Amino acid sequence: KFATVPLLFFALPVAESFTLNQGSPVPTSFSASPVDKTAAAMDAQIGQQVQKQGAPPPPVASAPARAASLQAKAPEVTVQGGSLKTWAFSSPSVERVMVNLKTEGRPLDADVELWAGPDNTPHKIRVYVENGATRPFNAVMETPRGPNTIAVRNIGQLEFPMGAQVEAISAAEPLGSGASAEPMSAPVVVQGGALRTFPFDPSVDSVQILLTTDGRPLNARIELLQGPNNNKQVLELYTEDGLDRPFYTILESPGSGNVIRIVNTATVEFPMTVSVGAFSLSTQTPFEELKPVISGFGDSAYGSSRADRENFKYGLN
C-alpha cells in the first residue's frame, strides 16, 4: 500500500499539467516559426506595393470581337497636318496592336511606324486614302518582345486633320481567323517584282488581306482600284521579318468595280505569300444596288415605280 501512494502522487500532477496546457491558449510568440513570420511580412509588403501601383490593367479585347466591329474602343486622337502622335506600350504582354485612321471626308495621307528601341523601326506603312470617311484605314501590327511604340505622322497639309485610334488586342488567335463573311483564300506566292490582282463582287463591302514571308523582309504595295487607274487607297509597307511581323489589313470597298492589286516591290530573292478574302458583305440585294435613280426621285415620297412617276408628271397624285 505504501509503495503505490507515490505512484498516485506523481501521476496526478502529470495529468493536471496536461489538462492545463490543453485548455490554455497557445502563446502568440509560439504560433508561427521565424520562417513563417518572414514570409508573412514579405506578403504584407508585396500587398502594399500592389495597392500603391494600382489595379492591374483590364484585359484586352478578343480578336473576333474586335474584327467583327471594326470600331476601336480607344479614344480618338486628332492628328493635325504635319504633326506626330505616339502611343507607347511598355508592357511586354502587348503583342498585337490595331491602328484605325479616318477623316471627315477629306484625303488621308499618313506614315505609321513601329518603334522597337532606339533607331529601330521594324515596321513602316505609308497610307493614302482618297476619302477617309468612306474608306478608313484599319491595320493590325504585331508587337512582340515589348516595349514598343506606335508613331502616327500626318504628312498632309494643315487643312487635312485626321483621327487616330490605337488599341492593344489579343494575340491568342492567328491573323485572319476572326469573324468574317468568307474564309480567306489559299495562300498565293508572289515573287519579287511580280503583281497579283483580285477582283471582287459589288456585294463585298470590305476585304481582308494578309501578307507574310518565310522570315525574310517584306516590301509590298497594296492598291484599291475602282475603275481604270483610279486609286482609292494605296498602302506601301515594309517589314523586316514577314514571319514574325506579318501584315494584316481590312480595306473598305463600297460600290462596284473594286479590284485589289498587290505588288511585291522587293527583288526576286524575297518572295511573299498573299491571302485575300471578303470580310463583310452588303445588306442590299443586287437589284437594289443596280437600280437607277430616274428623274431624281428614286425612293422619294413621289414613288419609285413607273406608274407613280407618270401620275406625278400629269398631276394625278
Average pLDDT along the chain: 77
Query: Which candidate, 71, 209, 202, places its Cα nearest to that of 136?
Result: 71
Alpha-carbon distances of 228 from 97, 195, 234, 259, 302, rounded to whole Å? 34, 16, 15, 10, 36
The reported pLDDT for the residue numbered 295 is 57
The mean per-residue pLDDT over the stretch 79-93 comes to 93
pLDDT band at 170 (very low <50, low <70, confident <90, very high): confident
To the nearest 10°, report the CA torsion of 4, 6, 12, 13. -160
Query: Which candidate, 150, 158, 176, places its Cα nearest to that of 275?
Result: 176
Element (H, E) at 290: helix 286-290
CB atoms within 10 A of CB 116: 17
The reported pLDDT for the residue numbered 252 is 93
The pLDDT tens digits of the residues spanning 114-125 come to 999 888 999 999
Residue with cell 477629306: 106
The reported pLDDT for the residue numbered 289 is 57
Of the chain, the percentage scoring pLDDT greater than 70 comes to 65
Neighbour-count burial of 248, counting CB atoms closer than 10 A to its CB (0-12 exposed, 13-18 middle, 19+ buried): buried
The reported pLDDT for the residue numbered 86 is 95
Return all residues near 118 (Cβ < 8 A) that are at least 6 apart: none
**pTM attached to this predicted model:** 0.67
Instruction: Name which residue leads in pLDDT, 62 or 96.
Output: 96
pLDDT band at 146 (very low <50, low <70, confident <90, very high): confident
| CA–CA gap between residue 317 and residue 228 (Å, rounded) | 44
Q: Supply 23's cell numbers.
A: 485548455
The pLDDT tens digits of the residues spanning 155-164 come to 999 999 999 9
The reported pLDDT for the residue numbered 214 is 93
Q: Supply 118's cell numbers.
A: 532606339
| CA–CA gap between residue 250 and residue 209 (Å, rounded) | 6
The reported pLDDT for the residue numbered 10 is 43
Instruction: Name which residue leads in pLDDT, 281 or 303.
Output: 281
Say yes or no to pLDDT of 27 above 50: no
Say yes or no to pLDDT of 152 above 90: yes
Say yes or no to pLDDT of 172 above 50: yes
The mean per-residue pLDDT over the stretch 105-109 comes to 94
- Amino acid symbol at 236: E
Instruction: Name which residue leads in pLDDT, 228 or 212.
Output: 212
Query: Which candidate, 256, 209, 67, 232, places its Cα nearest to that of 135?
Result: 232
pLDDT band at 130 (very low <50, low <70, confident <90, very high): very high
The pLDDT tens digits of the residues spanning 28-54 come to 333 444 444 444 555 555 455 444 444
- Amino acid symbol at 22: Q
pLDDT band at 309 (very low <50, low <70, confident <90, very high): low
Instruction: Name which residue leads in pLDDT, 167 or 41.
Output: 167
